[in-house]
Structure 1
Amino acid sequence: MDPFFFREALFQLDIDRHGEAEKWFSPEYDREQWMKVDVPGCWDLYNRSLWSYEGTGWFCLELPAQNVDIYLLQRLMFERVSGHAKVWINGQWVGEHVGGYLPFEFVASHYLRAGMTNYIVMSVDNEPKGNRLPGNAVVEWMQYGGILREVSFISTPHCYIDRVGVRTHGFVADHVLTFDVHLVNHSQDPVEGNLILNIPQLDFSCDKENYIVVEPGFKKIERSYSVPQAQYWSPDTPNLYEVEAVFMETKGRFSDRTASRFGVRTVEVNDHHILLNGQPLIIKGINRYDEILDYGPSAPASVIRDDLIKAKEAGVNLIRTHYPLDSIQLNLMDELGLLVMEEIPLNWWMNNWHPTAPANEELNEEIAKDAERALRDMIKQHCNHPSIVIWSMCNESETNTPLGIDVMRGLMRLAREEDQSRLVSFVAEGNKPGHLAFEEADIVCFNVYYGAMYGDPALKLSEIHHKVMQPTMEHLQRFVREFPGKPLLITEFGTLGLQGLKGDQRHSETFQAQYLRVVWEAIMGVNGVQGGILWCWADYYHRRKYWDVPLGRYGVLTVDRQEKESFKMLQELFLTADSIKGGE
């Protein structure tokens, strides 16, 4: 049976959070007055009155009777729902999920009724909480609410292939790829069958060791094969392959098939160099939120593709995010050859510099455990994307405290246990010393904002050299000495640029462009610094609850992707960066 995709829902606000007590999930509850909405899409764009709403909203999805089959295992799959989701089917409690970025699913078979319409009701709470990620009630980026990506209904045999992970770290030595096939058996008896792996583009098919027995529960099958005909994935040649896994029950009563795309590439460090497929890499990156005007974080693939192509044509080779990206974004980055630094949404944890929301030390252990779960889930779900080359543990948190140091060390060790094919690090504020966990990181990552947020502010173009470039270069040289033998990556640099404002004063387009020029020259001028990541690609909306200004106007583009003067500057700097740094 083909997957069923939900395309509309009924929606209602629950401003006072009375919905559970009043049993809005009940089949008997009257939803006649609920708003009809399209899914996926954030509730902030349903109408103007909902813009920036943080709180609880409810959805009701209808599953037509013809999609229910009592002989199959049927699952409800959510690609991305903001915040804390609670799910009921036909009035029965199914489960909940916390976290607004990664997919999740529930087995629905036990709750379905054959021959009739089934009702899936979900409450969604997108308000940040101090006891869960991002680890601080103060979050800069908009917390778009609702069903942000596809909701689908999947039918499979009771014994099925959950996913296929591809490990490529053995490819360099002997062209070996290792396939981890994860199967699930929801029946009460063992299931015997044959497992077949194919890579059609490479004319590869396994022809031995394919008989397996899947006991009730979960089973992982590991298979390694030499595949010398596979070619490396890189930004210039983003070669991708698809592995097809087929499980056929011995007596031919059922079969299951899944396909997973992957690429072969290596990333490592050697002294102060980052090496991609054995070649030195200069990072020319951008920080990018996934929101686009009129779409929020739910833009269609065609719009996202255009945005990413524009970045690549500007010389960008890496995109950093503060949270895991959805599959549309990552698939396009794989296809276009854009590297990714993907981060756990642990942001400003224990950082009390914002006066309205001091850190709550009693919740730190709970948040650290949440970060571990998020890391495992991110690696599990995104391990096959060759574009991802760096796992980041956090952004601008108090990682120079004893607890912060211990947590970073623990998270990086966990990341290496889960995945040996990528670099690991975390991002610290550049004006705070003592981040001792960098001793265990592959690369040292700092954010630097001299003349904008650090040191004396540069108010005029004439002050840029001595208030921006000079202290930046001195700081980078100090970093290189402090962490010998490790590559240094500047993960944020930038300043405000207001569209249409020209001239000598700060916050003008002219000033922003020249600011980027001198910081990039400092980055290129210090041996051991392997690039930088601009803050940021496009202007972005602030959370109304904690910020006085509606937009973060740090972008080289506006939120609707109009170019500022700094865009041309960035393009010029990035397109010439390899030749400038190439002789290091």
Structure 2
Amino acid sequence: MRSLIIVTLITTVIFGCSKQQPSHDVVNDKVQSKALARQSPQQIGNFNQAWLFNLADDKAYSTVQLDDKNWRALSLPHDWSIEQDFDQKWNGATGYLPGGIAWYRKHFKTPGDLQEQLFVLNFDGIYNHSTIWLNGVKIGGEVNGYTPFNLELNPHLKPEGQNNVLAIRVDHSRYIDSRWYTGSGIYRDVTLYRFNKLHIPVWGTYVTTPKVTHDTADINLAIELSNQHNLAQSFKVITDIIDPNQQVVATQSQVLTLQPKQQQTIEQHFTLSTVQLWDTSTPNLYTAHSRIVKDQQTIGSRDTRFGLRFLEFNPDKGFFLNGQHTLIKGVNLHHDAGLVGVAVPDDVWRRRLTRLKQAGVNAIRTAHNPASARFLELCDEMGLLVQAEIFDEWDNPKDKRLNQQERHDDYISRGYADWFQTHAEADLKAAMKRDRNHPSIIMWSIGNEIEWTYPRYKQATGYFDMNAAGNYFFNPPFISPEEIKQRFHNSEEGQYVLAKTAKKLSNWVKQMDTTRPVTANLILPSVSHISGYTDALDIIGYSYRRVIYDYGYKLFPGKMVMGHENVPQWHEWQAVIERPFVAGTFLWTGTDYLGESHKRWPTKAVRSGLLNLAGFENPSYHMFKSLWNNEPHIHLTTQTLDKSPYKLEANKVVEKKPGAWQQYVWYWYDVNQHWNYQAQQMTVVEAYTNCQQVELFSNGQSLGVQTLQDNADHILKWAVPYQAGQLTAKGLGNCQTTTELHTASEVSTTRVQLDKNQIAVDQNQVVHIDMQLVDAKGHAVTHKEHELTVTVSPELHLLGTDNGRPDAITNYKANTLPTYQGRALAIVTGIKPGTATVKISGPNIATQMVKINVISSSASQGNSQQARLGSH
């Protein structure tokens, strides 16, 4: 069985997203140019601009004859929940933010001839329960807030040049329909396509590579063709393969005839004698530029971006990318990003993903739903592996307030389980058809911790019905596999059988894509292994169960094992690197996220991330940077001895509870990132580092050398009587790096850092303004807080402010906020060209002014095609 798995999946390949780009100005069977400027004639562009919004509900809002001039004008993507005030009356599952019902309306003129052209509107995601009217006629909608979908507009459009009204009702009144913050509204891109009636439909291409080596590649391209004309059409389909250097390296051409109203899928095959592989360090991307040529004219085209790589999932040795053993150093991410909610500009994700990559992260799990197309494009470009997850609920509902307590039936928390039987197949296939070309995606996950919702599983484990010593997270099963099997099979099946549903879902995945394995996140794997659930999976993912890696490998061999959710602690990674058969892990989580905070007011977020809500580094970030990145790294934290997990024994720092580090879970214990205490107060200084030896100095005086081999918890520790001044940690040997902490005095002003000083008028381009309190000497003040006000000039729009604190309840759209650990963040986007200014001020501190150059979108190399203008 093991060898079969290897052979089957070694040929896995990859592929790119169908992405519209400029098309050729000339039509030749072979194009020798670099193909840098191809404007696809069928894409008009995003449909994000000039919408009207009303956070209210009225049946009349779908009608054409409606006075909507007083509605709020905005552009998409848009999340209305993130604009509201945090309030305890809402549930913590949503981050104490509301849902509700709202309407969007858009007036537009028909942009072409309805007799010759076909207009299709693509929604990448509406959260959720959308209903859509065009000119007063209901034309569709979608239940699932993460499902992309397309609507043909022609039957209800007015003739060319006449006005149309698009009206969309979004019903998120079931506002606790997930266990995390979902946001509300048309929060992803909307795109209008104008096709010739002979065309390649949206998502109409699929690239696979049956063979890839370091030197050569075979490429198969499947192209869907649709003839909606009333007459037969004869034409050519020409595809150029364009390499990462924008050179045409292969071309195929076919002559075809389609009968009226006929659809057909053709295949084209290419062989490359030299290749540039896609991997995490060099994410090389190719493009298949396909065009339909009729009467020497290009009447339609589609660009499919893809990568060349080969994968192996070995049950004994782990994961291999392009033949190279690669530990999966992953993190889970929900789809919110702090102050912008779920309507996330590209630059916000780019900053967060860049920081995670700097820590050594090479993989993302999209917890627990399909990500946006734009997020996956960034992963393609940045070289991040992706486990694409599709569902969090199947047949039975989860309780959105209390995980494991599946006992609710109230309207506001009913979720996708109510629609799973009727919608799951279509939703899964729509997401996969959109996403299966992305080179970043290496596996499909069909479900997350589904076992909680099937009572037989919990009861069969033996963990929850007996007086067992220890903890579920850290103890192997207390009963034998035989007893688990007996308990399970002697229990009542219930209306739905998890293993049967898993098999059905796995089959649907393989109908869409056989080049990647199917996995799921198992929270009760000791039962799932014997119930038939894992029979539907190619890869076994454990959720917080690193303690049974050996158990699962020994008793249930033949499939690759890895962690899909693990806490961001050293002991989790230690369990991976000590076992060659474990492919890696996805930490919970890459960033703090909103929601999942039932009865924890005012805490609105889960603080398990390597990064906090503002994208600033948490202590766990530095721990994993020391574990996952080879670049020398030292990070210092401090705490008084009495508040620390330590005590002194014979002048040595030891744990108050021996071995406690082996059972730390999601949250890092309380440490400070300052050097401000009472004179001679006993403190513990910690260093998170990959240096084997570090020497600590206080005001130039050595406090001794600590070594990693003497610290099983991978943390270096010194007991230091506090003395004002400077702490310095120096790596020794070949680990040449130094870090410092300074005693800070009173706040003098802010140190302002911009991640860029020029942006275009394009909502995907933003500037992050990082504000740090400093004293007169420029030392960071992280032990005191101050109120800051951010004022922007008319060229800019302030998307919001944040300090990263999980229990801060200042409205994200406010321009005044307190710091947290002396720090705060503002995000701005450009709204008109000019030299913009940002003023940062506060009581009794010096004001800072920074300048940002805002240029027109046309001057930014065509970025306006994907412009995003947030509400303002």
Q: TM-score, normalised by structure 2?
A: 0.56
Secondary structure (helix, strand or coil) at the match of 1:210 reads: strand
Q: CA deviation at 1:301?
A: 1.3
Distance in 2 of aligned mates of 1:43 and 1:126: 11
Secondary structure (helix, strand or coil) at the match of 1:243 reads: strand
Secondary structure (helix, strand or coil) at the match of 2:423 reads: helix
Q: CA deviation at 1:286?
A: 0.2
Whether 2:434 is the aligned partner of 1:381: answer yes
1:30 is matched with which residue?
67
Q: CA deviation at 1:182?
A: 1.1
Q: Is the 8 A contact 1:77 1:105 kept in 2?
A: yes
Distance in 1 of aligned mates of 2:576 and 2:52: 52
Distance in 2 of aligned mates of 1:393 and 1:233: 25
Q: CA deviation at 1:220?
A: 0.9
Q: Which of the pair has more CA radius of gyration?
A: 2
Distance in 2 of aligned mates of 1:186 and 1:200: 30
Distance in 1 of aligned mates of 2:191 and 2:206: 22
1:531 is matched with which residue?
584
Whether 2:346 is the aligned partner of 1:301: answer yes
Whether 2:519 is the aligned partner of 1:425: answer yes
Superposed CA offset, 1:399-445 (max 9, x none): 75861111112222332232121121111104752343223422210
2:558 is matched with which residue?
485
**Which of 333, 342, 346 does residue 379 from structure 2 map onto?**
333
**Which of 307, 314, 320 does residue 275 from structure 1 map onto?**
320
Q: Structure 1 residues 521-530 or 302-311, which shifts more?
A: 521-530
Distance in 2 of aligned mates of 1:367 and 1:315: 37
Secondary structure (helix, strand or coil) at the match of 2:281 reads: coil
- Once superposed, what is the RMSD of the aligned Cα atoms? 3.1
Give matches, 1:184-195, under 5 Å. Answer: 184-195=226-237
Q: 2:583 is matched by which residue type in structure 1?
A: Q
Q: Is the 8 A contact 2:252 2:268 kept in 1?
A: no
Q: CA deviation at 1:31?
A: 2.5
Q: CA deviation at 1:92?
A: 1.6
Q: CA deviation at 1:349?
A: 5.7
Whether 2:549 is the aligned partner of 1:476: answer yes
Distance in 1 of aligned mates of 2:252 and 2:362: 39
Cα distance change on mapping 1:253 and 1:240 into 2, 3 Å:
closer
Superposed CA offset, 1:360-418 (max 9, x none): 99x97962553332221222111110100010010001275861111112222332232
Distance in 1 of aligned mates of 2:123 and 2:599: 29
Q: Is the 8 A contact 2:442 2:516 kept in 1?
A: yes
Distance in 2 of aligned mates of 1:544 and 1:478: 33
Distance in 2 of aligned mates of 1:253 and 1:240: 28
Q: 2:238 is matched by which residue type in structure 1?
A: I
**Which of 286, 289, 294 does residue 244 from structure 1 map onto?**
289
**Which of 363, 374, 397 does residue 450 from structure 2 map onto?**
397
Q: CA deviation at 1:261?
A: 0.3
Q: Is the 8 A contact 2:85 2:97 kept in 1?
A: no
Q: Is the 8 A contact 1:266 1:421 kept in 2?
A: no
Give matches, 1:38-117, under 5 Å. Answer: 38-48=75-85, 52-64=97-109, 67-70=111-114, 71-113=116-158, 114-117=160-163
Secondary structure (helix, strand or coil) at the match of 1:110 reads: helix
1:257 is matched with which residue?
301
Higher helix share: 1
Superposed CA offset, 1:523-566 (max 9, x none): 22234222111000111111678876421111121111121111
1:445 is matched with which residue?
541
Q: CA deviation at 1:185?
A: 2.1
**Which of 141, 163, 170 does residue 124 from structure 1 map onto?**
170
Q: Is the 8 A contact 1:342 1:392 kept in 2?
A: yes
Cα distance change on mapping 1:174 and 1:537 into 2, 3 Å:
closer
Distance in 2 of aligned mates of 1:253 and 1:197: 15
1:213 is matched with which residue?
258
Secondary structure (helix, strand or coil) at the match of 1:53 reads: coil
Whether 2:501 is the aligned partner of 1:407: answer yes
Q: 1:176 is matched by which residue type in structure 2?
A: D
Cα distance change on mapping 1:550 and 1:389 into 2, 3 Å:
same
Q: Structure 1 residues 392-401 or 418-427, which shifts more?
A: 392-401
Cα distance change on mapping 1:271 and 1:544 into 2, 3 Å:
closer
Q: CA deviation at 1:55?
A: 3.0
Distance in 2 of aligned mates of 1:94 and 1:283: 44
Distance in 2 of aligned mates of 1:356 and 1:569: 38
Cα distance change on mapping 1:253 and 1:444 into 2, 3 Å:
closer
Distance in 2 of aligned mates of 1:263 and 1:313: 23
Q: 2:564 is matched by which residue type in structure 1?
A: T
Q: Is the 8 A contact 1:10 1:34 kept in 2?
A: yes
Aligned length: 522
**Which of 215, 225, 241 does residue 183 from structure 1 map onto?**
225
Q: CA deviation at 1:68?
A: 4.3
2:208 is matched with which residue?
167
Q: CA deviation at 1:158?
A: 1.1
Q: CA deviation at 1:127?
A: 4.8
1:454 is matched with which residue?
none
Distance in 1 of aligned mates of 2:274 and 2:598: 54
Q: Is the 8 A contact 1:73 1:109 kept in 2?
A: yes
Distance in 2 of aligned mates of 1:170 and 1:309: 31
Q: Is the 8 A contact 1:83 1:127 kept in 2?
A: no
Q: 1:538 is matched by which residue type in structure 2?
A: T
| Structure 2 residue ranges without an equivalent (≥5) | 1-40, 88-95, 458-487, 632-689, 693-872
**Which of 555, 559, 571 does residue 518 from structure 1 map onto?**
571
Cα distance change on mapping 1:525 and 1:330 into 2, 3 Å:
same
Q: 1:339 is matched by which residue type in structure 2?
A: L
Give matches, 1:195-234, under 5 Å. Answer: 195-201=237-243, 202-213=247-258, 215-234=260-279
Secondary structure (helix, strand or coil) at the match of 2:500 reads: helix
Secondary structure (helix, strand or coil) at the match of 1:406 reads: helix
Cα distance change on mapping 1:346 and 1:217 into 2, 3 Å:
farther
Secondary structure (helix, strand or coil) at the match of 1:80 reads: coil
1:150 is matched with which residue?
189
1:285 is matched with which residue?
330
Cα distance change on mapping 1:369 and 1:528 into 2, 3 Å:
farther
1:465 is matched with which residue?
none
Superposed CA offset, 1:23-82 (max 9, x none): 3211123324432233222112344389732232111012146x3443422222222211
Q: 2:508 is matched by which residue type in structure 1?
A: L
Superposed CA offset, 1:2-25 (max 9, x none): 4363313221234xx5x3xx3321
Cα distance change on mapping 1:91 and 1:368 into 2, 3 Å:
closer
Distance in 2 of aligned mates of 1:237 and 1:546: 45
1:323 is matched with which residue?
369
Percentage of matched positions with identical amino acids: 25
Distance in 1 of aligned mates of 2:242 and 2:499: 46
Cα distance change on mapping 1:558 and 1:264 into 2, 3 Å:
same
Q: TM-score, normalised by structure 1?
A: 0.82
Q: 1:310 is matched by which residue type in structure 2?
A: R
Superposed CA offset, 1:317-357 (max 9, x none): 11001111112111111111100001112347635622552
| Structure 1 residue ranges without an equivalent (≥5) | 130-136, 450-471, 495-514
Cα distance change on mapping 1:243 and 1:140 into 2, 3 Å:
same
Q: Is the 8 A contact 1:193 1:211 kept in 2?
A: yes
Distance in 1 of aligned mates of 2:338 and 2:571: 30
Distance in 2 of aligned mates of 1:188 and 1:547: 62
